[in-house]
Structure formats: C-alpha cells, structure tokens
Amino acid sequence: MQSIPTSLNKHTCNVLNFIQLITNMKKIFLILIFLPAKFLFAQSNGIHIIPEPVKITVQSGNFIITPKTVIIVGDSGDMHAANFLNHYLNKNYHFQLPINTNPTNGKITIATKKFIKAPQNAEHYSFVSTPNGVSISGNSYVGSFYGVQTLIQLLPVNFTDGQLPIAAVNIEDEPRFAYRGMHLDVGRHFFSVDFIKEYIDFIALYKMNTFHWHLTEDQGWRIEIKKYPKLTTIGAYRNGTIIGHAPGTGNDKIKYGGYYTQKQIKEIVQYAANRFITIIPEIEMPGHASAAIAAYPELSCFPEKNTPTPQNKQLWSGDTTGKQVQQSWGVFDDVFCPSEYTFHFIENVLDEVMQLFPSKYIHIGGDECPKNYWKASALCQQLMKEKGLKDEHELQSYFIQRVEKYINSKGRQIIGWDEILEGGLAPNATVMSWRGEKGGIEAAQQKHNVIMTPGAWCYFDHSQNKPEDSLTIGGYTPVQKVYSYEPVPKELNKNEIKFILGAQGNVWTEYMAYPTKVEYMILPRMSALSEVLWSPAEKKDWKNFKNKLEFDTKRYQLWQVHFNENWHQNITTNR
C-alpha cells in the first residue's frame, strides 16, 4: 500500500483518500467488466464446455433450438457432423432437425472452410452463436465435427417447452495434442457391439480421436480371423472366471466369451470413421497369448505341455489337460514361440487385421512377456546363437523387429508397450509408455514417437475413491490426479518434445464385467483427460474444471449412464 507523507495536512489527506477510493472503484469496475467474461458469465450462463476451448468470448442473449430449427450443411462432407448432432438430439431429447443445403432458411450452419492447400491446423474450428443462429466452420470436416461437439456442450440438460436455449458466444478452438486416445480391453471381458458404439460416442463427445481396441488376451481372442477359425471357436471362450480379486476365492464355473465377426468390425470401423475416430487394433505378442495357443498349440514352444492350472482346484473350471484359455488374471509363461510357424501365423492374422482396420498404426503389444519358456526352449536358444542375440530380451526385440518389418512392408507402423525398448527398439516403432514416463522419455530421446499412458494418471482401472466401493485392480487415481497430468515430461528438451504425440486413458477390464462398470470407471476421469489433451496448458484450472464437472455429471444423467458420483471426495483425500 502507498504511504502518505506525514507533512501533508488533513485536507490534502482527505482529497488523496478520495482519489484513492475512486481509483479503487475504477479498478473494481474494470475487474467486473473484463474478468467475468470467463469467470462470472462462464459459470452462470450455462457454459460448461469440456474440454475448455482455446478462446471463448461470451456475448449477450441466447439462440433457441426447437424441433423446427434447420441445419444447413456446406456440402456432403459436413453431413457427418450434422448427422452426429441429430443422433445426439434424438438419443437425449427425442427429436431431430431437418438438414438442408439451402442457405436461406438455416439456423445452424455447418460449413467447412475451403482451402486450396490443406491447413496445418485441420482440427481448428470457429463457432459463433447469436440470437439469430449458429455458425460452425472448421478448417476441415473434422474441425466442423468438433464445432458440433461444442454446440452439444452448450445444450441445457432439460428440454422444457420444446426449447433448447444456447448462449451466444464466439469461440476459436483447436487441440493441443494430435493423439487423444481411449483404450478398451475386450479380452478379459467382452462387450457388445452396441456398447462399443456407445464408447466411441463418448470419445467423440470429448473431442478425442483414437480408440485403441485391445482385441486379444490370455482370457479370450475376440476377432474373427477367417484363416484360423479355431481362434474364435476355441480361443474366444473360457470355461469359467475366478471370483473376487486374483488369485480369486473360487470360480463361477460359467462358460464365458464372445468375439466380433469381421462384418461387425467393419461396421464399427465405419461408425468410428463417421465420428472422425481412428481405431487402432491391438494384437498382443509375444505374451498374453494363452487363448491363441489354446486354439493352435504349435504357437507355443512346448505344444505338448499342459497349461499350468492353479493348485487350488476351486479356482479352475473344467478340463485341466492340454492348452487352455486362462480363467484368472495375471501374466502367464506360455507365450508365442519365435518359430517360423508362429511368424507365418502372425503374418496371416495381420493381413486380415490390416484389411479390416485402415489405421496407420497397428498395436502389437509387447508387454509382460515372461522369458521362462524361451529360456527352456532348444529352438529359442539355437535361434539366439544363430542371430547373435545375447539374451531373451534381445530375442524379444528380434521378434518385434521382424513383425515390424512385415507391417512396414504393408505401409503401416507399429505401436508397442514400453517393454519394446528392452533389447533394442524396432527402427520405426512408436512407444506407449505405461510403466511410468521413463520409457516414453527414453523413446523420445531416441527420436521415436511416444504416446503417454503412465499408470499413475492414465489407468482408469485403478480405484478412484478411498475407500473404493467396488472391486478394482487397486491403485488410486482420482479425477483430480488425472486432471493434473502433464503429458510432456520436463526431462525432454525442445527438440524431443515434438515426439510426444499425446496420451491415452487405459481401461483394463479384469474387474469390469459389465458396461455399467466401464461407464463408472471412465466417467468423469475421461472428461478430465480430454481437457489435458485438448486445452492449452495455461488454461487448465482445476477450480473451473470442478464447476464444469458438476454440470458434466448432469449430462451423464441425461445420457442415462453410470458414473462415479463421489468424485468430489477426492479433493480432500488427494491433498
């Protein structure tokens, strides 16, 4: 505070006090004028956009959407965005809007900008709503699609008197990271086509762009491969599932399984493409291969050896001889043998996978591959000698590099979990860093692309409450922890940062047997991750996000989905 010299008389002091009072009032007035654009109006005008846009200016007034409002599209490429808006309105408010190409009577205009040369920031969109209408224009069709997600986020949750008022705003927006992903393990538990579509819709609603579909596991092979029918007739089913936390307190003795036909996969890939979402399929190798080995025992280094089953017979259901699909969770010794038979099998499987999935990337797993069978295998030891490989980690690296070469020869790239760094990284591989950030840092320093999925922030199979009220794998990753995540590690320099493509939420389903549990585990953590990945780092504000989340949970109710209602608890327990 400014001090007043003591030599000044009382009158001068009063004048100075008065001037100071006016100055302070002016300051307060200015604060009231300028600050509230974000903090006052943003909270009170029903503006709770997640992820937070780059730039938003709130204007006065509302535009009212009614069932008579017309959507005008620029051209057929904008139909995906218009159709998604109708899909959303229909699902949640039970009406949809007419779509028209006649610009004279439009109220919601979705018209992607036309460029001679594709712009760098193709995902950018401009959004203007006034009392007279809404105008969305992306730098590309995907940008316009994100503009529609923003429109959806401006909708109230109550549809009263046939009206949906949305605030008048100006928005300029684009994402911070190119890769914004969600993963789902359908091996431990299988989920219907309808639920996969719902999951893809969640991804779209939060302006994420990648669905990492984990399709093969020890407990079930979930993708039809025409050349190897036993992968699904045998590998897609287990004779029972453990009860409780692994190793379990018993076995439910119920045959469990399922798989996606190639026809269903094509339908899902198209469904995702209509939402500008890429599906990256994961075919696990060389570990987590029990289901494939149960179908084709020659894929093991020891085809004659029984699958080891638990000592406690209560934990197992059915046959204990031969190769079996696993019924418990964990990491298992019987992995793919690096034989010519296996490589031939993998190439054939990948041929069909690449036919189904047009993604640039194919995920080939690479995590949690015990080396015990390889150590005991004469074939492996001979191969290591022949190739000059000093240990089984180098043998794994040989395995991955060989598969990478095949995938690269088809014009695609591999992603692998961070274990693929051990024994030497395949030349063009992208690393998914899950055991913390160390693998990601190392890969970026080696000039490899990286997707961050470190367990402490990005594993949505972890508990989210203390105490957790349902069975989970463990850990503790409340929503605030997810929100605090910064995907670019401080250890990287300016040139290395560019290798961090983005991040992803991982959803391993050992303890998620039903869609309702998956919903509960991802909401609201997925909302938090979307803001980490989309919004500029300097716009991240937990307090503001918390307010928005209060409204987001009302959206979940509108969608009639399950979510963690106790997410507030974390604020005290996490500090």
Residue nearer to ligand ACM on the CB measure, 85 or 450: 450
Nearest distance from residue 287's CB to ligand ACM, in Å?
9
Q: How far is the CB of 419 from ligand ACM (least distance, A)?
A: 8
| Residue number with CB closer to ligand ACM (52 or 461) | 461
Cβ 483 to ligand ACM, closest distance in Å?
A: 21
Which H/E stretch holds residue 363?
strand 361-365
Choice between 399 and 563, CB closer to ligand ACM: 399
Question: Residue 347 or residue 367: which is nearer to ligand ACM going by CB?
Answer: 367
Instruction: Give the residue with the Cβ less far from ligand ACM, 183 or 539.
Output: 183
| CB of 69 or CB of 463, closer to ligand ACM | 463
Cα–Cα separations (whole angstroms), residue 537 to 122, 164, 501: 20, 32, 15
Q: Does 368 bind ligand ACM (CB under 6 A)?
A: yes
Work out how close the CB of 432 gets to ligand ACM at its nearest, in angstroms, rounded to a whole number: 7
Tokens in use for 434? 């899950």
CA angle 123, 127, 128 (to 5 degrees): 165
Nearer to ligand ACM, 399 or 545 (CB): 399
Are 468 and 520 in contact by the 8 Å Cβ rule? The answer is no
DSSP 149-167: HHHHHHS-S--BTTBEEEE
Residue 87 exposure: Cα atoms within 13 Å on the Cβ side: 18
Tell me how far, at minimum, the Cβ of 434 lies from ligand ACM, in Å. Answer: 4
Comparison of 182 and 383: residue with beta carbon closer to ligand ACM: 182
Nearest to residue 173, comparing CAs of 118, 111, 122?
Answer: 122
Q: Which lies closer to ligand ACM via its Cβ, residue 327 or residue 433?
A: 433
Q: Interaction with ligand ACM in 348-367: which residues (CB under 6 A)? A: 367
Q: Residues 105-124 vs ligand ACM: string with x where CB under 6 A?
A: --------------------
- Compute the least distance from the CB of residue 468 to ligand ACM, in Å: 19
Asked if 332 interacts with ligand ACM (CB under 6 A), we say no
Tell me how far CA of residue 349 lies from CA of 99, 223, 324, 345, 364, in angstroms.
42, 10, 20, 6, 12
Cβ within 8 Å of residue 115, ≥6 positions away? 139
Read off the DSSP letter of residue 459: B
What is the per-residue binding string for ligand ACM in 281-320, x denoting contact by CB under 6 A? ----------------------------------------
Query: Are the C-beta atoms of residues 509 and 461 closer than 8 Å to each other?
Result: yes
C-beta of 332: minimal distance to ligand ACM in Å? Answer: 13
Tell me: does residue 259 bind ligand ACM (CB under 6 A).
no
Helix (H, G, I), strand (E, B) or coil at 38: coil
Q: How far is the CB of 136 from ligand ACM (least distance, A)?
A: 38
Amino acid occupying residue 47: I
Minimum Å distance from CB 297 to ligand ACM?
Answer: 24
Contacts of 259 (CB under 8 A, 6+ apart): 190, 220, 221, 222, 223, 224, 232, 236
Helix (H) or strand (E) holding 168: strand 164-173
CB 27 → ligand ACM: shortest distance, Å? Answer: 53
The three state secondary structure string of 388-436 is: CCCCHHHHHHHHHHHHHHHHHHCCCEEEEEHHHHCCCCCCCCEEEECCC
- Taking the least distance from each CB to ligand ACM, the nearer of 149 and 430 is 430
Q: In the complex with ligand ACM, which residue's Cβ is closer, 510 or 519?
A: 510
Q: Which residues contact 119 (CB under 8 A, 6 or more apart)?
A: 139, 140
- Least Å distance, CB 508 to ligand ACM, is 6
Q: Which is nearer to ligand ACM, 338 or 416 (CB)?
A: 416
Q: Could you tell me how many residues of this chain bind ligand ACM (CB under 6 A)? A: 4
**Phi-psi category of residue 560: left, alpha or beta, with phi > 0 → left and psi -120 to 50 → alpha:** left
Contact of 138 with 147, CB cutoff 8 Å: yes
CB of 52 to ligand ACM, least distance (A): 29
Answer positive or negative: Cα dihedral of 523, 526, 532, 536: negative
Within 189-218, which residues bind ligand ACM (CB under 6 A)? none
In the complex with ligand ACM, the residue whose CB is nearer, 46 or 436, is 436
The string of DSSP codes covering 205-268 is: HTT--EEEEE-EETTEE-B--TT-THHHHTTTEES--EESSTT-SEE----EE--B-HHHHHHH
Q: Which residues contact 457 (CB under 8 A, 6 or more apart)?
A: 477, 481, 482, 484, 485
172-122-410 Cα angle (round to 5): 155
With respect to ligand ACM, which residue has the nearer C-beta, 368 or 394?
A: 368
**C-beta of 367: minimal distance to ligand ACM in Å?**
4
Footprint of ligand ACM on 411-440 (CB under 6 A): 417, 434
Least distance between ligand ACM and beta carbon 264 (Å): 25
Residues between 477 and 536 with contacts to ligand ACM, criterion CB under 6 A: none
Residues that bind ligand ACM (CB under 6 A): 367-368, 417, 434
